[in-house]
Chains A and B, each alone.
Chain A
Amino acid sequence: MTQDEIEAVLIRELHRIAPDIEIDTVDRDGDLREEFDIDSMDFLNLVAALSKATGAEMPESDYAQMASVNAMLAYLGTAAP
């Protein structure tokens, strides 16, 4: 997947979980859960959707590398096959 495709998938899934938050209004280096007001269940659902869409395994031990929009994009850039 290209980085643009990964970004499109991330924006789509974030919108599905937090439809009231505009991606353009968030701090892409800020805490993902704070910026989108999502809880542990939402985050798990986000990871599940991203894992399906990108093929990345996204183990729980890597969650710390997915803490912001930019961190998530960088992580998926290397983790997605």
Chain B
Amino acid sequence: MNEKGKMLMKTFNHEIKDEVGIHARPAGLLVKEAKKYNSKITLNVNGKSAEATKLMAIMTLGVKQGQVVEITIEGEDEDTAYEGMKVFFEQNL
């Protein structure tokens, strides 16, 4: 990763606690939350990834309870987006 890349990317891992995994409702809320930021937010799990602003892509990841999702945030407002996403995942998933 280059210098710029390092600077412009934040990552955290989150283990899904919701019984049904990332189902439609939290996925919908996630999209809403992600759209608040300009940063590109991506979910990575099981070797697949989906942008947090794309509802169907997130749903088709089929994330189940107990799985760990890596969330990467990249963009000008990544600091605020990072904080926002952390809180969101803690509270909703």
**Do the two chains bind?**
no
